[in-house]
Structure 1
Amino acid sequence: MSKVKIAGGAVCSVAAIIAIILSNGQVRTNERGLELIGNAEACRRDPYVCPAGVLTDGIGNTHGVKAGTRKTDAQIAADWERNILQAEKCVNTYAAGARLSDNTFSAVTSLTFNVGCGAMQKSTLYALLREGPSAWTSACNQFTRWVYADGVQLPGLVTRRSKEKALCLDGV
């Protein structure tokens, strides 16, 4: 795998990391969901400061990041898998995740991965998912509300939420 230099350091292949994750068989999030998250977050071997001002590495990983430490594919995959499983646990606990189709579950996991479990626990989206199948289309339509950071609409979030909404609706 070649390394490409960018302003924030060396990038890595999202596809290669997804292959590692899928081969482990631990996550429920499907390949479409992992591609959505990975492509939205990008994959970087070197730590960088994300738009929210947090030191980040790998694929949206903010846990245990150390400035100046470059990660391997195996390390990035392990961190990402841990973070995905954490988001999935939130979906299962607060959004009746076990009842959701794989596509809907994967879309909701992507959103939860991005904004955090704390923000999602008491959300209208999660409440609608708990109501059951009759409310799932309405829940999917909630994705487009989650496009702001500090009160500013971000084009990248608009794009990501549109893709998450489509994946969510594919599962209804």
Structure 2
Amino acid sequence: MNSSLRARISAAIGGGAIAIATVMLSGKGGLEGREYVPYKDVVGIITVCDGHTANDIIINKRYSDAECDALTKADLERIAKQVNPSIKVKTTETQLAAIYSFSYNVGANAFIKSTMLKKLNAGDYAGACDELKRWVYAGGKKWKGLMNRRDVEYEVCTWSQR
């Protein structure tokens, strides 16, 4: 993780998991890489801003920072509502932020069905964080961008274990 992102994440600690995940994902230097004009991602999904992929995207529109910030916040709040009921153990805000970032990327259902959640709910926090590094494929190919993302998520997931 670069020092700028590490500093921004450190500053967000104490503001809650959604605040940390927002810093991880959004703006310049975020994990998603902000794109103001919709594009197709590596697997062909229309995407805009910080990884927003819903059906409300307007093709050829240029989104503002305020619009992107609002989309990311709403997306993370939706992810939190979807994944929180499946987490049966106490987590730190950094662990939860890593889970939100991961779930934002792969989908809440993928997290809910994952070995990562099974290990987490069994109290195997280190094992749950280790699972992040397995999720580096898109379209059947290993992607450097996903490896980098999972490295950051892993570092945030294990933040309190160091």
> Which TM class, normalised by the smaller chain length?
0.7 to 0.9
Count of equivalent residues: 146
Q: TM-score scaled to structure 1, two decimals?
A: 0.76
> Could you tell me how far 1:82 is from its partner in structure 2?
0.9
Separation of aligned partners in 2, 1:153 and 1:162: 14
- In structure 1, which of residues 20, 34, 49 is the aligned counterpart of residue 22 of structure 2? 34
After superposing the two structures, state which structure 1 stretch, 79-88 or 69-78, moved more.
69-78
Match of 1:143 among 114, 117, 132: 132
Shift of the 28–35 alpha-carbon distance from structure 1 to 2, 3 Å rule, reads closer
**TM-superposed deviation, 1:137:** 0.9
Name the residue aligned to 1:160: 149
Q: Does 1:169 align with 2:161?
A: no
Q: Work out the CA distance in 1 between the residues paired with 2:158 and 2:62.
A: 38
Deviating 4+ runs (over 3 angstroms): none
Structure 1 vs Structure 2 CA RMSD: 2.1
Q: What is the CA-CA distance between 1:91 and the residue it aligns to?
A: 2.8
Is 1:103 aligned to residue 94 of structure 2?
Answer: yes
SS state of the match for residue 103, structure 2?
helix
Question: Which of 39, 50, 57 is matched with 1:48 structurally?
Answer: 39
Q: Which runs of 5+ in 2 are unaligned?
A: none
Q: How many Å separate the matches in 2 of 1:106 and 1:158? A: 18
Give the direction of change, closer, same or farther, for the CA distance of 1:165–1:28 in structure 2 (3 Å limit): closer
1:117 aligns with 2:108: yes
Decide which structure has the larger Cα Rg and report it: 1
Structure 1 residues without counterparts, runs of 5 or longer: 1-14
